[in-house]
Amino acid sequence: MAIVKMSKFSLFAFDSEMEDLLQELQKFEYVHFHNLEEEEELIEEGLEAVSVPEGIVEVNEEISKVKYGLDMLAKYYERDTGIKAMIEGKATLTFEELEKKALEFDYHQVYNKLRSLSNEIEKYEEEAVKLNARKEELIHWEGLEYPLEDLYSLRQCQVFTGIIPTKMKDKLNQELLDLEYAYFEVVSEDKKNMYIFALTSKDEEEKLNDILRINAFSAIRLEGEDTPKEELNTINERLRELKDEKEKTLEKVKELAHNVPNLEILYEYLMNKKLRIAVNENFLKTEKVNVIEGYIPTEKVDDFTRIIQKTQKNAYYLEVHDAEEDDPNVPILLKNSKFVETFESLTSMYALPRYNEIDPTPLLAPFYLAFFGMMVADAGYGLITVIACFIALKVANLSESQEKFVRFFYYLGFSTTIWGLIFGSFLGGIVPIPGLMDPANEYQKLLIMSIVFGLIHLYFALGIKAYMSIREGKYLDALYDVGFWYMALSGGIVFLLTIVISLPPVVGTISKAVLIIGAVGIVLTNGRSAKSAGGKLAAGLYELYGISSYVGDFVSYSRLMALGLSGGFIASAINMMVEMLIGLGVVGYVAGIVVFVVGQLFNIFLSLLSAYVHTIRLTYVEFFGKFYEGGGKAFNIFRSKPKYINLK
């Protein structure tokens, strides 16, 4: 197991039978189409790209209508929340059940009704916006007790209404004293402006106009029939009516909210239908025949062949053969044990392996498990993680990705518990348990243990590199790129130990000789790809200089000790605060319980997050950096990724 063996197929099928073929292949699921438009040789031979059928426009319109309904109704559809929602999860359907339920639901009636109700709501809102704008205009003139329809119809007098900056108030009042027949009133005032009403005879109209103009007057003509106050009352009454009418319309919308589950199912069906149509872009064609290429898992070749025979009633041509190992177009599908597959997300986040590589997931999983547990290293935290994940796995209806994620931490919880027992830590020491080591007092031993684990990790990575070379028949490459490094590193480590530890002289002599042989071997062979002798030597010396990076790698593993100690110290500090609070009496006892629960839960989250991130770092940089390149293409399942349901 690991990388699924792939077979490449070539199929010539009549265009008239493509719809049935693609529908059956979507049920089959495990087919990855190769984009033939990238094959220039086929284009040059006269084959044409298959244009996407016009039906995709219709499907896109249907999807838009369904999304419109979901967006409008989702806020009114009452879903379960919290633990109940997690337990029930999303509905799980087979592809056949999805098609059946989607085709049984006539959404047009729902959509048309929603559109009609939406138009009504928009009309209410548009009228309300206009009324509120009108209200905003009149609110400052509420104190004006004159009917607006008569305001500007006086024959012998001239009326002025508008605004003047408040800062001009004193100057304006002084200048208005020169007028004999003018009436001036400040109807309302705010921080910036005065809303003024002025009335004067025709004789003084021009004079008043000049005074207002030089005081930055802006004229406003008030529209309406009644007084501003009566107009505002009418507007407010209409706004209340609009609000009531809108609420009644929204109630009708809410009555349609029960259609949300059916709309979600229809959305998933249409997205898969769209994928079936859009996939035609990968094909080439003659006048009547489509040319299709792709990949399928070798173990499913028989099922795939039966589908072709079932859907192609007329003549067709099918060729299936094992994919070439060095073909960069071969898509990657991983298949591992239930334990290992929970770690596949780590590999995918970095890069999928190429088809001619090995899947590093089974190789990284044991180390990740051990390192993670060592970084958290608390039996209480481990048990809480195991129990919480176990309950979620047994009770909750999880999607495939959610189930893998929970199972991932379920396994890590066991490692955390075991390391907690080794270090004698349970919730930061709240429950004393005997351990094989006390990290707080034996931190030097813990540091040495971390470095040793790092040494094993790195040596294992180099061993994988040697295995890959031997598998390809490159035995000398295994010696040059791994064997000499083993010698140089091992000889150097033992030689340094003879300096700090009393060992027989012969050990130092042998280690020095091994170190020199390894170093010379690296210099002479690791630059072999260079063309000139000088280039080979220079490249070899540069590679030998890379031995300094191993020092940094070894030091990097000290984080195994550092994170384990930090989490334990934080837990102990929380427990100390709790002890102090409990000594304050009943109130302190209650506060101590709160601090203990909140503090320990926060430390669990922090410890798990830190261990997750830093173990990934050790995996990607120190481990993968020694042998793994990646760069494979993911196998594209012929299904649309579900958003609202779990699709089998």
Q: Which residue ranges of the chain lie beneath pLDDT 50?
A: none
Please list, in sequence order, all residues whose beta carbon lies within 8 angstroms of the beta carbon of residue 553, skipping any fewer than 6 positions away.
Answer: 454, 458, 621, 622
Longest dimension (CA), the chain: 126
Residue (of 37, 148, 61) closest to 111 by Cα position = 61
- Which neighbouring-strand residues pair with 322? 7
CATH code for 153-220? 3.30.70.2750
For 8, 24, 262, the CA distances from 304, given in Å and listed in that order, are: 12, 10, 32
| Amino acid letter, 456 | I
As a whole number of Å, the CA-based R_g of the chain is 39
Return d(Cα 212, Cα 196) in angstroms, integer: 10
Q: Using H for helix, E for strand and C for coil, what is the string for 599-635? A: HHHHHHHHHHHHHHHHHHHHHHHHHHHHCCCCCCEEC
Whether the domain at 2-50+283-334 and the domain at 153-220 fall into the same CATH topology:
yes
Burial class from Cβ neighbours inside 10 Å (0-12, 13-18, 19+) for residue 629 reads: exposed
618 secondary structure, DSSP code: I
Angle, helices 505-525/533-545, rounded to nearest 10 degrees: 130
Supply the DSSP symbol for 166: G
Tell me what pLDDT residue 40 has. Answer: 67
Residue 136 token pair: 């905003």
CB neighbour list of residue 180: distance below 8 Å, 6 or more residues apart: 204
- What's the pLDDT score for residue 330? 93
CB of 535 within 8 A of CB of 527? yes
Compute the distance between CA of residue 59 and CA of residue 357 in angstroms, rounded to an integer: 41
Q: What's the pLDDT score for residue 145?
A: 85
Which pLDDT value is given to residue 322?
A: 92
Q: Using CB atoms within 10 Å of the CB of residue 522, give its burial: 0 to 12 exposed, 13 to 18 middle, 19+ buried.
A: buried
Residue 281 identity: E
Q: Which amino acid is at 270?
A: L
3-state secondary structure 384-430: HHHHHHHHHHHHCCCCHHHHHHHHHHHHHHHHHHHHHHHHCCCHHHC
Tell me the domain boundaries of the chain: 2-50+283-334, 153-220, 359-444+558-626, 449-555
Check if the beta carbon of residue 559 is closer than 8 Å to that of residue 614: yes
The pair of three-digit structure tokens given for residue 480, joined into one six-digit string: 């040059």
DSSP-assigned beta bridge partners for residue 289? 14
Q: How many residues does this entry show for the chain? A: 648
Domain 2-50+283-334, what fold?
Answer: Alpha-Beta Plaits (3.30.70)
In angstroms, rounded to a whole number, what is the distance separating the alpha carbons of residues 424 and 433? 5
647 closest CA partner among 99, 63, 259, 262 = 99
Strand, coil or helix: 472: coil
Torsion sign, CA atoms 393, 399, 403, 406: negative
Cα→Cα distances 159→5, 184, 203, 234, 284, Å: 92, 10, 13, 25, 80
Burial of 210-225, coded b for 16+ CB within 10 Å and e otherwise, reads ebbeebebeeeebebe
Q: Which among 490, 74, 11, 502 has a CA at the least distance from the CA of 262?
A: 74
